[in-house]
A and B are shown apart, each in its own frame.
Chain A
Amino acid sequence: MSRTGDEAPRVSRRGVLLGGSGLLVGAAATEGANLAIGGPGPSKQLTPGEDLMREHGVLKRILLTYRNVLERQAAGRPVPTAAVHDGATMIHDYIEGFHEGLEEAYVFPPLRQAGQLVTTVDTLLVQHARGRRLTARILDTTSAASLTAAANVQLASDLTAFVRMYEPHEAREDTVVFPALRELLSASRLRALADTFVAEAARQFGPDAFTDMVARVAAIEETLGIANLAEFTPTV
């Protein structure tokens, strides 16, 4: 399948809109609209795409901490290795060991079987593998309290590569892959998938898996001094 064809799945506008946008779900819910997965009335159940996208939100916040560390390195300031190690551990356990496993188990196979986004899925799988290798090295490098000059350079290279890869990676999944899955699967299969995701998260991380992860990444942001959202607002 050509790259061009791969990037143009048969996804309707409605499928894109319902593909997992928390903003849309929230807005529609306030209007009393029914965005539950095939249910008769408003539901608090997340769609599979929405569940995966909020996990992407956790990943985005860790990428933000990586960016902060890169800025410190560029300014010649010491690296808070423990904070980087905590973030990389979250990525290792929650993103690479769980979130990506859900994608590899339940999102990519049906798309492949339907002949959709085959090249994209291959690329995403390769990126999962490269990300896991990068994370392993970041964890290894940051297991020390302080870094040698060589380790500092290696860490900067790995963090840069990781951020550079994962920003487009998750953006492509959010805007192309998850909407395609939403379009492909029946309402009942999506509902079953949503239940599976919830059960898997609870089995591996407890009933409050997502909120626990948000609290963990917020603590890392606090450590780095980037917890105040308002500080990211530009003065115009």
Chain B
Amino acid sequence: MARWTGKPLLRALVLLAACVTLLAACGSKPVTPPTVRTATIGGLGTILVNAQGYTLYMFVPDAQRGVTCTGACAGTWPPLKTAAGKTADAGPGVQAALLGADKSPDGSTVVTYNRWPLYTYAADINPGDVVGQGLDLNGGYWYVMRPDGTPVVPHGAPPFPTS
């Protein structure tokens, strides 16, 4: 094995460059917190969306206690993730005090709003789509959320407790 013979400062610089390269190769990069903002959707009013305008949903079985949608469910409903110990930035119309975060069973950190974990829907192909609204899938109902932290529950849908 070759042995390093350079000066200490040069050695440190080379090691630093190697670390930076390694981190870049691993996909590590500064984590920018996601942003939750609002959009007005016909028939639903003003609801929460992510920074790209994709609709955010809450899942009734989460019961404001934690993330229950993991594995295949999280493929259909990708959670709005953030860095550990962080939440999302509040865009216009969003109450920053209602934003929080919850640790998912898979180890990731998911943004919450009024303690509801937030998810997008894989089949919402375009910003502004609300294809998942009112769907009963993966063990419960999925609803969009108002800026006041309440879900938009269609008339006739089964009631559930909220706080």
Contact = CB atoms under 8 A, between A and B. Distances in A.
Contacts of B71: 101, 105, 200, 203-204
A132 interface: yes
B19 interface: no
Nearest to B139: A97
Nearest to B136: A136
Contact of A100 (B76, B125, B135, B139): B76
* Residues of A in contact with B, size category: 20 to 34
Contacts of B121: 129
Contacts of A109: 75
B76 A101 contact: yes
B125 A104 contact: no
A15 to B, nearest CB: 23
Contacts of A106: 75
A98 B125 CA distance: 20
B122 A125 contact: yes
B154 to A, nearest CB: 12
| Residue among B72, B75, B76, B131 with the highest chain A CB neighbour number at 10 A | B72
Interface of A is mostly: helix
Contacts of A129: 121, 123, 131-132
A6 interface: no
Interface string B73-96: 111100000000000000000000
Contact of B123 (A92, A128, A203): A128
A106 B76 CA distance: 10
Nearest to A99: B72
Interface of B: 71-76, 121-123, 125, 131-132, 135-139
Q: Which 3 A-B pairs have the closest CB atoms?
A: A105-B75, A101-B72, A129-B123
16 contacts: A96-B137, A97-B137, A97-B138, A101-B76, A104-B122, A105-B71, A105-B74, A105-B76, A109-B75, A125-B123, A125-B125, A129-B132, A132-B135, A132-B137, A133-B135, A203-B71
